[in-house]
Amino acid sequence: MSLTFKRYLSLLVDKPPARPGDGINVTWLGNAGVHVTDGITGFLIDPFVSRYGMLRVALGLGMPPMQDVIAKWAATFDPALVGAVIASHSHYDHALDAPFFARLFDAPLVGTESTANIGRGARLSDDFIKVVGHADTMEIGAFKITFLESVHGPALFNRVPYPGVITSPLVSPAGARGYRMGGVFGIVIQHPAGTLVHHGSAGYDRDMYAGHHADVVLLGIAGRAGTSTYLKNVVDALGARTVIPIHFDNMFHPVSTSFRFMPAVHFDEFLDVCLQTRPNMNVSTLPVGRPVGLLINGSLNPP
C-alpha cells in the first residue's frame, strides 16, 4: 500500500448515514460520480462505471456501456432514491453510462443539449430528458439544484480534451472523441440540512459562485492547473468549511475500493496545499461504494 493511499484512507469520512429526513448522505462511485440522498429522495451525478483502458480510449475505439457493471451498481441504490441522473458535462467519463442508469431507474437524464443527444442515442424518449442551462434550477423532494456554467480544466497537455458540442444523437458504441464536452456545470445542491456543491471538472469561471455559499464542496481535482488558485476561486469563494476531493482515481481501471490514482493527479500536492495554506479547513475523502453522512440536522458531520 502506497503512502499516498494511506493518506487517502486516513482522511475518510467514517460516519454512518443519517436517518431519513435528518441529513444528507453521499456515496462515491469513483471518478466524479456520486449518489446524493436525504433518505427520502435523491439523485445521481456523473455515474461512470464502464471503465476502459487508456490504449482503447486513445485509439478512439468504441466503448459500449458495460450493462452488467451498470446493473450491479444500480442494484446498490434504492430506486425510490434516484429521482434524476445528472451529467455535469458530456465527456465519456461523466456521461457514457448516465442514460443507462436513467433507464434502469425510470428517471430523467439531466444536462446540456449535448448530454440530451447522448440520451437520444441511447433511445431515451424526450419525456425522460431534461435540458438545463446556466442558472436553471430543479427540485427533487427537499433538494433545490442550481446549475452554474463553469469551465473544464486543462486536463490533456494543458488543453481541454474533446471540446465542442454533440449536435446529433450519439449512438453507442462510440469512441471518446464522440463525447464532446458540450458545456460544464458546477452544481449547487441546497437542502434544509445544508448545501453541497459538486464541482466535477477542475476549471472555473471567475466569480461563478458569487452570491452562493456551501458547507461542503465535492471538488474534482484531475487536470487542474494551480491548486491554490483553484481553491481560491471555488472552495474559498463558496466559504466552504469542508473540501472533499473527487475525480482522482484512475478512470482507466475498474472501480474498486483499492483503486489506483489517476496519472499526474498529484494527490499529495493537493493535500499539502490544503493543509499548509488553509489549516482551518477540513479536508476529507469518501470511501468507494459506501454511503456516509455528511450533513446531519443542519450541522456538518466531520470525519
Per-residue pLDDT of the chain (303 residues; tens, 9 = 90+): 899 999 999 999 989 999 999 999 999 999 999 999 999 999 999 999 999 999 999 999 999 999 999 999 999 999 999 999 999 999 999 999 999 999 999 999 999 999 999 999 999 999 999 999 999 999 999 999 999 999 998 876 677 888 999 999 999 999 999 999 999 999 999 999 999 999 999 999 999 999 999 999 999 999 998 999 999 999 999 999 999 999 999 999 999 999 999 999 999 999 999 999 999 999 999 999 999 999 986 556 555
Query: What residues are paired with 25 via a beta bridge?
Result: 37, 293
Phi, psi of 30 (to 5 degrees): 85, 165
Q: What DSSP string runs through the chain?
A: --HHHHHHHHTB---PPPPTTTEEEEEE-STT-EEEE-SSSEEEES-------HHHHHHT------HHHHHHHHTTS-GGG---EE-SS-SHHHHSSHHHHHHHHT--EEE-HHHHHHHHHTT--GGGEEE--TT-EEEETTEEEEEEEE----TBTTB-SS-S---S--PSS--GGGS----EEEEEEEETTEEEEEE-SS---TTTTTT---SEEEEE-TT-S-HHHHHIIIIIHHT-SEEEEES-B-TTS---TTPPBPTT--HHHHHHHHHHH-TTSEE-B--BT--EEEEETTEE---
To the nearest 10°, the Cα dihedral for 148, 151, 155, 161? 100
- State yes or no: cis peptide before 263, omega within 30 of 0: no
Q: How far apart, in whole angstroms, are the C-alpha atoms of residue 129 and residue 86? A: 10
Those residues whose C-beta lies under 8 Å from the C-beta of residue 198, and which sit 6 or more positions away, are 32, 34, 36, 45, 46, 88, 186, 187, 189, 218
What is the chain's Cα-based Rg? Answer: 18
Instruction: For residue 279, give the amino acid letter.
Output: P
From the list 106, 132, 105, 129, the residue with the least C-alpha distance to 118 is 129
